[in-house]
Copies of this chain bind each other. A is one copy, B any other.
């Protein structure tokens, strides 16, 4: 559904531009490229993975790795992007504007899948209430071995 996607992207872009304006920062080709890449490639990426994605998909952009780091930090501070890291790997980034979801992480290769489960969320709310807490948010990560690594029979 390209129509909806464009609306979403435009919205994201506006949000980013608004952050930039508020802080007297400039909207550059590089920053746009990074935002577009975040949008076009849903998933969790290391800074270096973004760098390679961009070099491959926008060969003319000649973007530097330092700009990737600087822009991801900016986006993280602006809460447009979320950073997370598990196990052996470094910090990975993903767009933060998605509807809420949790993660399943492969302890062997670092693969991250997303899921959402209403019944768990309902139960969480109940548990919080039983303890007198007002629930604001949560973190849930399931760790295991992904199908690929199970097949490869690689120990941890």
Contacts and interface: CB of A to CB of B under 8 A. Distances in A.
Interface in A134-156: 134-147, 150, 156
Q: In the assembly, how many copies of this chain are there?
A: 2
Interface in A33-90: 77, 79, 83-88
A83 to B, nearest CB: 6
Given A104-B133, A127-B142, 15 more contacts: A104-B128, A113-B131, A115-B127, A117-B123, A128-B144, A132-B147, A132-B150, A133-B147, A134-B145, A134-B150, A135-B143, A136-B143, A138-B140, A139-B139, A139-B140
A97 interface: no
A142 B133 contact: yes
A18 interface: no
Given A133-B147, A139-B140, A144-B136, A104 B85 contact: no
A134 B88 CA distance: 18
Interface in A93-127: 104, 106-107, 113, 115, 117, 119-120, 123-124, 127
Contacts of A119: 123
6 contacts: A77-B156, A84-B141, A104-B128, A128-B144, A133-B144, A134-B150
